[in-house]
Amino acid sequence: MVLISFGIEWFAGLGAGLAWGTVQESARRLVFGPSQSQGKQSALSPFLSDKNAERLALALCRMRGAALKIGQMLSIQDESLVPAPILAALDIVRQGADVMPRSQLNQVLNAELGPDWSSKLKSFDYEPLAAASIGQVHQAVTKDDFQVAMKIQYPGVADSIESDIENVKLLLDYTNLIPEGLYLDKAMKVAKEELSRECDYELESSNQKKFRELLSNVDGFYVPSVVDELSSKKVLTSELIHGIPIDKVALLDQETRSYVGKKLLELTLMELFTDPNWGNFLYNEPTRTINLIDFGAARSYPKRFVENYLRMVVACANCDREGVIEMSQRLGFLSGQESEIMLEAHVQAAFVVGLPFAKPGGYDFRANNITQSLSNIGGTMLRHRLTPPPDEVYSLHRKLAGAFLACIKIGAVVPCRDILLKVYESYQFDD
């Protein structure tokens, strides 16, 4: 196998498994033809079988750290970028990673909080509430009966970011999972920078406190307090909050789903065009409150970039072709040397993204297939794109796309244009 030559035992094992899976899938297709459940890309390549996708996802779960983070980033995409079997298998990745053994967990807590850390607690649950990309979360109770969630980082995660990202890049190159036009090298560079910030729990603690202050007087949102005496660079202890994840919100009534979607989009636009951006959330149904968690990836953007991006969104909403092209060149989406084919595909994609903001009144996310429309345009853009997007766009787009995908998932009906224009009209431009 090609991957064995790199001397990486894990990759050798995974590579062998994927190769054998590919042989099996090729033989199956000779007899039965491509599966109807597989996407268009999947039908073209026996590598992209359901079994191989599952092998990849489970392997990323075992790797933890940067590799798992890449898997999570891929898993929030849609079929316009990643084939359906890969998406389905990577949903496994989003559910969490392998957990730390108890002895390893104690070593981290002793090193970070001191050997007497348990004396500050009335109880500590060794069974994690969640296992994520760079750490796992445990429930505990302080001496004064305050219920907390302790996020504890996996040992060595911060030190292995560089090598883990490079290993995942080798794997993605080997499997041809990512099209050339997505500029994998640039995406990996941004991923390294984001992960370095996320591994600094002291920075996340500062972000969380800032969000708590910013949203203290905003109805419908709550940010848990940080417990400083039980926090460090690799341990972050916060007030324990309760709520249901977004897939459970989809089971609630239409009024609630639309309310949650509206609040998510308000928060996303407010933060994109003010300073930081939001992380994850849990919806507390009795209080109608969105509890915000996970501020490791929060960041600010240059004001000039934010101003042009806001103008770009408004141009998309108004189907303003010249405005879209001008702002795209200012932002770095376009070089100015693109062919007419690429320009037309770019403008049409921009108009599709602007659809929720195009008309007053409620926009029904479930009744309008934005992702399918983008999928039809995406191939042209990937073939004719001349330049990668600016670094800021990777995280910024993920937040805006995440809000859209959340609204689609829960079937929200949201007055998107009203929200956008309210932000635009109140924004203080420098020029």
Domains along the chain? 2-96+164-177 (no CATH), 101-153+200-240 (3.30.200), 243-431 (no CATH)
Give Rg (Cα) of the chain: 22
CA 183 – CA 88 distance, rounded (Å)? 23
Question: DSSP per residue over 154-184, as a string?
Answer: PTTTGGGHHHHHHHHHHHHHHHT-S-GGG-H
Question: DSSP per residue over 96-120, as a string?
Answer: --PPPPHHHHHHHHHHHH-TTGGGG
| Global confidence as pTM | 0.78
Where does residue 129 fall: left (phi above 0), alpha (psi -120 to 50 degrees), or beta otherwise?
alpha
Spans in the chain with pLDDT lower than 70: 1-98, 171-182, 273-279, 371-382, 384
Q: What is the pLDDT of residue 14?
A: 37
Q: What is the pLDDT of residue 406?
A: 87
Q: What is the pLDDT of residue 5?
A: 30
How many other CB atoms are there within 10 angstroms of residue 281's CB atom?
A: 25
CA 52 – CA 136 distance, rounded (Å)? 27
Assigned token pair, 150: 């302790």
State whether residue 414 is helix, strand or coil.
strand
Q: What is the pLDDT of residue 380?
A: 63
Q: What is the pLDDT of residue 10?
A: 31
Q: What is the pLDDT of residue 59?
A: 63
- The question of whether 391 is a catalytic residue gets the answer no
Q: What is the pLDDT of residue 135?
A: 87
Q: What is the pLDDT of residue 52?
A: 63
CA 131 – CA 398 distance, rounded (Å)? 22
- Mutual angle of helices 321-331 and 340-354, in 10-degree steps: 100
Catalytic residue among 98, 275, 364, 418: 275
Q: What is the pLDDT of residue 238?
A: 97
**Strand bridging mode 221-222 / 289-293:** parallel
Q: Are 148 and 142 in contact (CB under 8 A)?
A: yes
CA 382 – CA 391 distance, rounded (Å)? 18
Place of tokens 């504890």: 152
Q: What is the pLDDT of residue 112?
A: 97
CA 420 – CA 402 distance, rounded (Å)? 16
